Each structure stands twice: as C-alpha cells, then as structure tokens.
Structure 1
Amino acid sequence: MSEKNRDGKRTARERLAVEREKQKAADKRRRTLIVGASIVCVLGLAAVIGVVAANAGKDKSTKAGPAVAPSGAQGKDSLAIPVGKDGAKSTLTVWEDFRCPACQAFEVAYRPTLHELTDAGKLRVEYHLVRLIDGNLGGTGSLRAANAAACAQDAGKFRDYHDVLFASQPKETDDALAGNDRLIELAGKVKGLDTPAFRKCVQNGTHDGWVDKSHQAFKSGGFGGTPTVLLDGKNIYEDRTMTPAKLKQRVEAADRG
C-alpha cells in the first residue's frame, strides 16, 4: 500500500472519530436538557422544553379585586394554605403552579410520603399558589386553578382537590384549566365539594386577588422556579440526592427530637 493511501485511510478514520465524539457530545447535551426539564421549571430557559421564565415585565396580572384569603389561610398576609397539624415539628413550604409539569412530577413522587407524614402529625405542609406559567405561555389556567383550589379550601377540601388538579393536569401549553366548567367538573371527583357555594366562588374569581398577591410574594422572595420546596426554611428541592425516603427520615428524626 502506498504512503498516500495509508495517509488517506488514516485521515478518514480520524474524521470518523471526530464525528463520533461530536455525536456523543450532542447526545449528552440533549439528555441533560431533557432531564433538566423534567426536574424543575427553571426561570430563564425556553418554554419549549417545559421550563418557564420569570417575566416580571410581561406578567399579565388580572384586574383582580381585593386579596380575599381563603378560610384558614395562615402566615404572612395569610398567603399559606396549611395541611397537617399546627404542632408538627417539621414544616414543608411548597410554592406551586397547577400548570407546571415539574410541580406535578414532584407531587407524584412525594405525595404518598407527604400524606403519611401529615396524617401522622409529624409534618405540616404550607402551600403557596402562584401563576408563573400564565405570564410566560399566556392564558389564565394557573390563576383559575389556584382560585378554585382556594375555593376548595373554603369548603375544607383543599388537599383532595389539590391532588385532583395535579392528577388531571393538561400539557403545559394547553390552557384547559382556564375553564371554570372544567374546574367544576373536576370538583366532582372530590366528595362533597361540588356545591352552589363552591361554584359561585369559582365563577366569581373570589380569590383572584389573593392568588396575585401570593404570586407577587413568590417573585419578591427571589425563588428560582417552581416547585420551590423548603423544609424548615432550607431548599431541599435543589438537593439532587433528596428522595421521599430521605425526607421521611429527616422528618421522623425531628419528630423524635
């Protein structure tokens, strides 16, 4: 074989190796983006990968009336909906958007553990509802769903309805939760919730102003995205080693003192 042919084959092999390395790098970047989109709705990234950006300048707040807090709301400005006993030694603070797919992923993974711990009196969860995706993808589904959840709180049915909303979450770009009829239909999945009082609350947007106030508190808090999950003030959702089992261990250890 001539020296020229050997050089040509060697160059071809080198080009092929380079192309393979480029493809590996592209595949790695693609996997990273997919995993990132499934973990958290991070502010500043494109919505096309299921992640939303805080867009204060374009946040389309409704012309809501006074901030009417739902029954039993607590905390600063009565913006937290509590689930669990007041005397629990651990408190989990959760900021969520009902249109956020990462919030749904968190709920699916952690819900059984949260129910177990709150029912046992070992954990208290404080839910804060925001409308982050409304301001970035358009629509009012986050607002309408949050208002309906607050109406469910008035009826003492928040936790069950909250779970139904996430279980029935449409695609992030589908604003199906903007329809009051749909929200009332979903209330039929919670025993005793679909009442004239609940329907009136949903249709009148009784708690719209409260939802907007909660959203403003979220932005003022400088949080990185939804869901934001704080255990006794410490952001545990940023801890990639956190699991439901690990959360349970921490809460039970605190409960034992």
Structure 2
Amino acid sequence: MSQRNRGEGKRGARERLREQRERERARAKRKRTLGVLGAVVAVFAVAAGVGVFASRTEDDSGKSGSAVVPPRGAVGKGRLVIPSGKKGEPGEPGESSKGSGKGAPATLTVFEDFRCPGCKQFEDVFRKTVHELQDDGRLRVEYHLVTIIDGNLGGTGSLRAANAAACAQDRDPDTFRAYHDVLYRHQPEETRDAYAHNSRLIKLAGTVPGLVTPAFRKCVEDGRHDTWVRKSNDVFTHSGYASTPTVLLDGKSVYGDPDKPLSPKKLKRMVLAATRD
C-alpha cells in the first residue's frame, strides 16, 4: 500500500472512531433524558394518585363538598344551637331570651364535647337541677356541640357522638335530652375513643325508648350531621372560649372559676332571681 493510501486509511479509521463515539454519547444523552422524563412522569402520577385519594377520603367522610345539615329544631345563627326546655326565640349564641316575653326567663348556654371528662363532671353534678328548672319553665338550655377532644387527642368519638345526638334531636327535643344524658352517663375514658364506633352509639341509643329506628340508624351511619358538627366546632374555636365545658347564664360565664365555684343550689338561686326580675 502507498504512503498516501495508508494515510487516508488512518484518517478513515479515526473518522469512524470519532463518529462511533459521538453516536455513543448521543445514545447516553437520550437515555439520561428519558430517565429524567420517566421520573417526572412518575412523580406526577404519584401526585395525581394522592390527590384523588385525598379527594375521595374527604368526600367519603363529609369533610368537603358536604352541605351543612342542621338537626330538626336547631336555632340561632347558622342554626348551630340545639335548644332544650321551654320554647322561645333565642338571640345570638350565649344571649338570653329574657325580656322577649317568650320562653323561659333564663338561658343556660353550654358548649360541650361528649368525650370531655370535665363536661361529664358538670352534667353529673348539675343534671338534676337543670332538668328541674327546665321542667318548671324557668330555664332554657342551648347546647353547642364541639369536638375539642378529637382535636387534642386524635380520633373521631367527639364528632360521631355529636352527630348521633343531632340524629336524636331529629326525632324530638325530649329524645335528644334523654340520649344526651345517656352519652354522658356512659362516657368512656378520655383516651379510649369508644364513641368513634357507630355500633356503640346505636347500642346506647337502645336505652332510649323509641329512638332506634331505621331513620336513626341511617342518620348515624351516614354521618348526616357531621358537617354541621364541624361548623359548630369551628365557631367555638373562634369564639374566644378556650375549654369545655363553657357554661354561660344569660350570656355571663358562671362555671370554672375556682374563686367563684358554682353549685347546684347557687345555680338555682341565680335562675330564680332571673325569674323574679
């Protein structure tokens, strides 16, 4: 082979080697690009899956997209109050109907959580006196159901029990009062979220004559009033009150001050004084 041909052969080999290396670099670049795109697609796919799951979870639990359904007979702003006692026209939550010429002359406003031990203590001590004053037409009680313990300890027992109580209110106010008392008498330990189980709530409802009907079961199991309970709790968290029970008599806080303890006799005297005014 001539010197010239040998030189051209060497240049051809170098060109082929260079072209091969460029092709390999191009393939490697394409592979890296496809890998990055695949990862991006995977991330978007996971994100989309989480979004659908969250949406379904919220829809199934009633947290979003559910209408606020007040129980029958609920009153006050936003119909967030369950009244118990002689009928009358209430004002804003915590305000008295005194002076309206309608209903009982005194109003007891109670913010309660069915998982709250302090609420049970209040109910156990004052239940008999409150019922007597109600039945005499001297006192109207306005209940605000909240879920502060669910928020503090986790779980759903406060929400589930409040919804069940609202389902009892759908039947009539006397049934609500009876079931309300049953829930406090059988309140589980604060750390045991037993009221998270609808079956437990329905079983306790069986102690209230006539309460357990197909309509009541469906109301409890479907969480008919869940969004209403959440709304009530949201109003409470923005009310300026920080704990349960919060108890107001004609709009004035009367419970929880260790320097001015409330007793059943004292509550009765205060209500009777309002009756005479």
Task: Tell me which interval the TM-score lies in, with the shorter structure as reference length.
Answer: 0.7 to 0.9
Say whether 1:226 aligns with 2:227. Answer: no
What residue in structure 1 maps to residue 263 of structure 2? Answer: 243
Name the SS for the 1:238 alignment partner.
Answer: coil
Q: Kindly provide the amino acid, as one letter, of the partner of residue 96 in structure 1.
A: E
1:26-105 alignment runs, 5 A limit: 63=63, 65-85=66-86, 86=88, 87-105=103-121
Cα distance, 1:195 vs. partner? 0.5
Q: Kindly provide the amino acid, as one letter, of the partner of residue 82 in structure 2.
A: I
What residue in structure 1 maps to residue 207 of structure 2? Answer: 189
Q: Kindly provide the amino acid, as one letter, of the partner of residue 139 in structure 1.
A: G
Cα distance, 1:113 vs. partner? 0.4
Name the SS for the 2:217 alignment partner.
Answer: helix
Q: Deviations over 1:201-247 (max 9, x none)?
A: 00000000000000000001010200000001111013332111001
Cα distance in 1 for partners of 2:193, 2:257 equals 31
One of 140, 153, 171 as aligned partner of 1:124: 140
Cα distance in 2 for partners of 1:238, 1:163 equals 21
Q: Deviations over 1:147-197 (max 9, x none)?
A: 000000001110000000000100000000010000000000100101111
One of 182, 185, 200 as aligned partner of 1:167: 185
Higher RCO by CA contacts (8 Å cutoff, separation 6 or greater) = 1
Name the SS for the 2:148 alignment partner.
Answer: coil
Name the SS for the 1:247 alignment partner.
Answer: helix
RMSD over aligned CA atoms reads: 1.1
Cα distance in 2 for partners of 1:198, 1:175 equals 21
Cα distance in 1 for partners of 2:270, 2:214 equals 42
Cα distance in 2 for partners of 1:250, 1:105 equals 20
Q: Percent of aligned positions with the same letter in both sequences?
A: 63
| Structure 2 spans left out of the alignment, 5+ residues | 1-60, 89-102
What residue in structure 1 maps to residue 50 of structure 2? Answer: none
Say whether 1:146 aligns with 2:146. Answer: no
Name the SS for the 1:226 alignment partner.
Answer: coil
Q: Kindly provide the amino acid, as one letter, of the partner of residue 217 in structure 2.
A: R
What residue in structure 1 maps to residue 6 of structure 2? Answer: none
Cα distance, 1:62 vs. partner? 6.0
Cα distance in 2 for partners of 1:149, 1:81 equals 10
Cα distance in 1 for partners of 2:152, 2:134 equals 33
What residue in structure 1 maps to residue 51 of structure 2? Answer: none
Name the SS for the 1:225 alignment partner.
Answer: coil
Say whether 1:253 aligns with 2:273. Answer: yes
Name the SS for the 2:207 alignment partner.
Answer: coil
Cα distance in 2 for partners of 1:224, 1:135 equals 13
What residue in structure 2 maps to residue 176 of structure 1? Answer: 194
Cα distance in 1 for partners of 2:84, 2:205 equals 19
Cα distance in 2 for partners of 1:253, 1:146 equals 33
